[in-house]
Structure 1
Amino acid sequence: MSNSPHFTKHLSPDNSSLISNVNNVDSSEIARENSETSTITEKEDPPYSVFTKNEKAAITTTVSLSAFFSPFSTNIYFPALHVIQQDLHTTEQLISLTVTMYMIFQGISPSFWGAMADTWGRRPVYIATFLFYSLASFGAGCSQNYPSLLVMRMLQAVGSSSAIAVGAGTIGDISTPAERGGYMGIYSMLTQLGPLLGPFLGGLISQTLGWRWIFWVLAIMSFVLWVVLVFFLPETLRSLTGDGSGYANPTPIQYWKRKFGKQREDAIDNISKFDSIIPPLTYTHNGLPISADILSEKKLKADKLILEDNDVKQQKKLHLNVFQSLSYLKEKDIAVLLFYNALQYGAIYSMLTSLTKLFTEAYQLNTLQIGLCYLASGFGSSLGSFSSGRLLNWQFNRYSKAFCNERGQAERSVSRKNIDPEFPIEAARLNLTWIWGIAFSLFTSAYGWCVQFHVHIAAPLTMAFFMTYTSSSTFCAINTLLVDLFPNNSAAIIASNNFTRYRMVLYHSIPYRICVKDDSYCGAKIWPKMEATAN
Structure 2
Amino acid sequence: MVDSETAGKDVLCETYTSELSDQETSIEQFTERKKKFIVAISSAACFLTPMAGLAFLPAVSTIAERFHTTGSIINVSNAIYNVFMALSCFWAPFSDSYGRKPTFLLCMTFCVISTVLVACSQNLAMFFVFRASTAFFGTAFFSIGAQIIGDIYPPERRGGAMGWNIAGSQIGPPLGPTFGAIIVTYTTWRWIFFILAILGGIVLVLAFLFLPETLPESKHQIALRNYNQSEEVLNNPEKRKKFIFVPFNITRPITSLRYPTLLLAGIASSALMYNMYCLLTPIRYVIDPRFNITLPLYGGLFYLAPGTGYLLGSFVGGRLSDYQVRKSIAKRGRRVPEDRLRITLIFYGLLSPASVIIYGWSLYYKKGGYPLPIICMFINGFCQTSAFPSINSYCIDSMASKIGGGAVGGNYMIRFFASAVASATCLIAIEDIGIGWTSTISGLVLIVGFICMLVLVFHGEKMRLGGEE
Supply the distance in 1 between the matched residues of 2:174 and 2:419 (Cα, whole angstroms).
18
Find 1:502's aligned residue among 402, 413, 416: 416
How many residues are paired up? 398
Q: Equivalent of 2:165, from 184, 187, 197? A: 187
Q: Does 1:161 align with 2:75?
A: no
How does 1:45-194 map onto structure 2 within 5 Å?
A: 48-110=27-89, 112-194=90-172
Alignment of 1:98-497 (within 5 A): 98-110=77-89, 112-240=90-218, 318-365=246-293, 366-404=295-333, 423-427=335-339, 429-437=340-348, 438-455=350-367, 456-488=369-401, 489=403, 491-497=405-411
Work out the CA distance in 1 between the residues paired with 2:309 and 2:66: 35
Aligned residue identity for 1:424? V
**Structure 1: 5+ residue stretches without partners:** 1-41, 250-311, 405-413, 415-422, 528-535
Query: Offset of 1:77 from its aligned partner?
Result: 1.5
**What CA distance in whole angstroms lies between the structure 1 residues aligned with 2:168 and 2:41?**
10
- Give the CA deviation at 1:525: 11
Cα distance in 2 for partners of 1:499, 1:46 equals 31
Give the secondary structure class of the aligned counterpart of 2:405. helix
Deviation at residue 122 of structure 1 after TM alignment = 0.7
Q: State the distance in 2 between where 1:504 and 1:189 align.
A: 20
Q: How far did 1:99 drift? A: 1.3
**CA distance 1:185–1:224, change in 2 (3 Å):** same
Q: Is the 8 A contact 1:64 1:191 kept in 2?
A: yes
Q: Is the CA contact (8 Å cut-off) linking 2:273 and 2:415 kept in structure 1?
A: yes
Q: Please tell me whether the aligned partners of residues 344 and 387 of structure 2 are also in contact (alpha carbons under 8 angstroms).
A: yes
Determine if contact 1:511/1:526 at 8 Å carries over to the other structure.
Answer: no
Contact 1:49 / 1:175 at 8 angstroms: preserved in 2?
Answer: no
* Letter of the 1:432 counterpart: I
**Structure 1, residues 164-191: CA drift from partner, whole Å, max 9, x if none?**
1101111110001111111011111232
In 2, Cα distance between equivalents of 1:521 and 1:323: 38
Q: 1:82 to 1:492 in 2, by over 3 A?
A: same
- Return closer, same or farther for 1:328/1:47 CA change in 2, 3 Å cut-off: closer
Mapped to 1, the partners of 2:439 and 2:286 lie a distance apart of 17
Q: Deviations over 1:221-268 (max 9, x none)?
A: 111111111111000113339xxxx9999xxxxxxxxxxxxxxxxxxx
Q: Amino acid of the residue matched to residue 444 of structure 1?
A: V
Query: So what's the TM-score if we normalise by structure 2?
Result: 0.80
Q: Relative to structure 1, is the Cα distance of residues 59 and 434 closer, same or farther in structure 2, using a 3 angstrom cutoff?
A: same
The aligned counterpart of 1:31 is none
| Paired residue type of 1:358 | V
Q: Structure 2: which amino acid aligns with 1:512? A: C
Cα deviations by residue, 1:459-492 (Å, 9 ceiling, x for unpaired)? 0110111111111111111111111113345532
CA contact (8 A) 1:118 1:492 kept: no
Q: Which of 350-359 and 446-455 deviates more?
A: 446-455
The alignment-based identity, stated in percent, is 27
Distance 2:309 2:386 in 1: 10
SS at match of 1:319: coil
Shift of 1:60: 0.5
Checking the alignment, whether the CA contact within 8 Å between 1:123 and 1:234 is kept in structure 2 is yes
State the Cα deviation string for residues 50-76 of structure 1 (Å, max 9, x = none).
101100000000011111112111021
Deviation at 1:516, TM superposition (A): 1.7
Question: What do the CA deviations read for 1:383-421 (whole angstroms, capped 9, x no partner)?
Answer: 0110111111211111112233xxxxxxxxx5xxxxxxx
**Greater CA radius of gyration, 1 or 2?**
1
Q: 1:499, CA displacement in angstroms? A: 1.2
Bigger mean CA deviation after superposition, 92-101 or 203-212? 92-101
The aligned amino acid for 2:182 is L
Contact 1:449/1:522 (<8 A) preserved = yes
- Deviation, 1:82, is 0.9
Please state which structure has a larger fraction of its residues in helix.
2
Please list every run of 5 or more consecutive structure 2 residues that lacks an aligned counterpart in the other structure: 1-20, 225-239, 442-469
Q: SS of the residue aligned with 1:386?
A: helix
State the partner residue of 2:12. none
Cα distance between partner residues in 1 of 2:148 and 2:332: 28
CA contact (8 A) 2:360 2:440 kept: no
User: In structure 1, how many angstroms separate the alpha carbons of the residues matched to 2:384 and 2:171?
Assistant: 15
Cα offset for 1:335? 0.6
Name the SS for the 2:64 alignment partner. helix
